[in-house]
Amino acid sequence: MVDTGRRAALAALLAAGLLPCAGARAANGARVPSAPHPPASLLGSEIRRLPTSRKVVALTFNAAWDEAGIDTVLAELRRRGLPATFFPTGAFADAHPGAVRAIGAAHGLGNHSYSHPYFEDLSTAQRVQEVRRADAAIRTASGAEPLPFFRFPYSATTRDSVADVNDLGYAAIEFTADTNGYLGPQGGMSVEAAAERAIDALAPGAIIQMHVGSNGDGVVLDAEALPLIIDAAEADGYTITDLRAFLVP
């Protein structure tokens, strides 16, 4: 059943110019070229595995608090010539613009909301505000065009919230496995345990979630586990894929 209240709210936001309009025209009347967008296979539900039978795996990183592991992660990816996708919050982009610019210079940037709330507790209008405010902050910090990929805070999705971000033009990219490295040693995790969680989840189209921040002690287990994860994946015949490869013109 269609949620008429949600649709009405989105229609009002579109009329107010707060949402993009397909086939929009510039001030001179010329049609604005469409940006790359998610295919139908990435819409309609949250995506926890990429739609492929090929032995590829996507590395993704959330950025929501500190930037302790970013230099290490970027250096490792650069050394190996590999892609990853990063999902900063808008608040992170405002607080750490240099880090977001460094990421955007080499990798794709998704959207992880502005303030990291539970989307199930928000109205459609509030969800739109979270996504749009984050988009603006990420654009300003990075100087780059963010990807049409949204990752829900806490991976807490509902049918309506996924529909809302889809209506904004975003695919809801979640994950096959989280390393839980963000918990840190104080949370009972180690480099080896974080890597093992990712390695155990390897399958065609797997999406691995990691974090660039520490839990307050400056230790970023995911940054240290990254080489182990990549080595194991490649030894098993997997290629590290770029989420941008799954967009269509």
pLDDT at 1 over 70: no
Complete domains list, the chain, with CATH: 48-246 (3.20.20.370)
Q: What is the pLDDT of residues 60-119, one digit of tens each?
A: 999 999 999 999 999 999 999 999 999 999 999 999 999 999 999 999 999 999 999 999
- The type of residue at 123 is S
Residues 6 or more apart whose Cβ sits within 8 Å of residue 55: 204, 236, 237, 238, 239
Q: How far is CA 216 from CA 66, 117, 141, 182, 236, in A?
A: 8, 20, 24, 10, 34
pLDDT score of 7: 52
Measure the CA–CA gap between 135 and 148, rounded to whole angstroms.
Answer: 10
- Of residues 166, 164, 176, the one with CA closest to residue 3: 164
| Averaged pLDDT, 25-46 | 69
CA 147 to chain centre: 8
pLDDT at 18 over 70: no
Measure the CA–CA gap between 87 and 212, rounded to whole angstroms.
Answer: 10
The structure's pTM equals 0.89
